[in-house]
Structure 1
Amino acid sequence: MEHYSQNNSAPSFLLISEGYDNNQHGKYPGFDMWITNGYGFPIEMKIFNNSKYFVDHNKLREVGIVFNHWFNEYNEGRWAFRDQYKLTDFKEIRSIFDIKLENYNPHLPNATLQTVVLSADLRINYYNESGKHVRGDLLSLIFCNPNNYDINNNPNDSIYWQSWNATNDDLIDGVPYRRISIHANKVGISNFHNVNQNFNHIDFDFIPLIKTFLPSPPENLTYENAIIVGYDIYSSTRGADISFSVKNINLIGIKN
């Protein structure tokens, strides 16, 4: 279903899966998404990402909720956001939601990559004055990491994973990207790691994380050129099962 308001924005989200085939929906192993409540109660989404017993257990599979904005020359809201927001529009960008780990089934002993996390992302694209996409950034906060895995393999920093280094520029369709995942527990933000019937309340500000962990804006550009293009809450796993429920999702920008 599509809905267009006067400026082409609409309160909308996508439930997405990456790494799965359509015929794996609603099966085990496989993925699923359930939506419950509404009608005066908060909508609750339950997300299943079960990949433990696939043969290709090192393949990354992700399932979750995505809010998108499409950059446009008219500075209008397109899809999930009411407006075309720049990073400099806000002194804080707060990610707030209630979430719980419903199920966790750890990796088989022969698993070599042991990714199994829940995270929240903010996606930013830099555009120059002519509207050319110059760079894409993603800041991901990992607030649930039940097996305490660290792809970065450095216990002395806050980084779980980053996409770029001296030998890898992380190009997607010719555009450089800077993507990084941060451990919430190492930057003083609420986190949890156990299955529980009670929801955990997550509330944090993206701005200081962006300015601490992502590179400075590209040459000749500033944060004025940084357009917010997405917000995501999702699960990632290689060869493990993880299910979660989430409700009361808010992305709140506090104006300067």
Structure 2
Amino acid sequence: MGGRLQGKRALVTGSTSNIGRAIAEAFSAEGAHVIVSGRSAERGGVVVDGIRARSGRADFVKADLDGSAEASYALAREAMSVLGGGIDILVNNAGIYPGDSTADTDEKTFDQVYAVNVKAPFFLTAAIAPAMVEAGGGAIINLGSWITRLGVPVGALYSSTKGAVETLTRAWAAEFGPRGVRVNAISPGVILEPTPGVAHPGEVMMNGTPAGGMGEPQAVAHAAVYLASEEAAFVHGIVLDVDGGRTTTAVIAA
């Protein structure tokens, strides 16, 4: 176990699987007391049990971040209570991804995706950032996406929500940074736990990149540990690409 986040208290939304789970596990391995949060108590319990089995500190707080201010404020209150009064690190990771085309997206889906992906982290940050300021500082990490800058023919709704999150990152860095709260974002590429012998449709999206394939959740978790730690004390308002070079580099096959 490392110590880069020793004594820190962290809340990671959507941390019962994939990227969120990897971040929660990495934070705990670096000494943080982590609140694992999501809709499934069963999956959350598995993550918490795994962290505790490795001598880490973790608790589960169930939350359905539906975009209502009350749901976000309720999660903030319960997480702070379980952690003993404060949160030092917030990771806004929870999100949903409908892959419909623009013409096939109905209004209900549109409103739901914006509620979960934009409104929920907005009000959660509104609930937690001022408390961080009062406590003397903190770190907020938002999850963006590579498709906010490199358009793909599906997922226009999702990519627009992540564009909003990346814009909020810069605005919040300006708002809260001078008062001691660093706000940054991570923009992952196609990230999935590998399944031996099973091809994933997302694999093709990473063709022509320096990495040459999909990334694993731990790659994003390493970046999150950096942004949450004192090593990033002079880092404000950035979007850190962890995408195998997808948005910056094209590899030309010989």
Q: TM-score, normalised by structure 2?
A: 0.29
Structure of larger gyration radius: 1
Higher helix share: 2
Instruction: Point out which structure has higher relative CO (alpha carbons under 8 A, 6+ apart).
Output: 1
Higher strand share: 1
Q: TM-score, normalised by structure 1?
A: 0.28
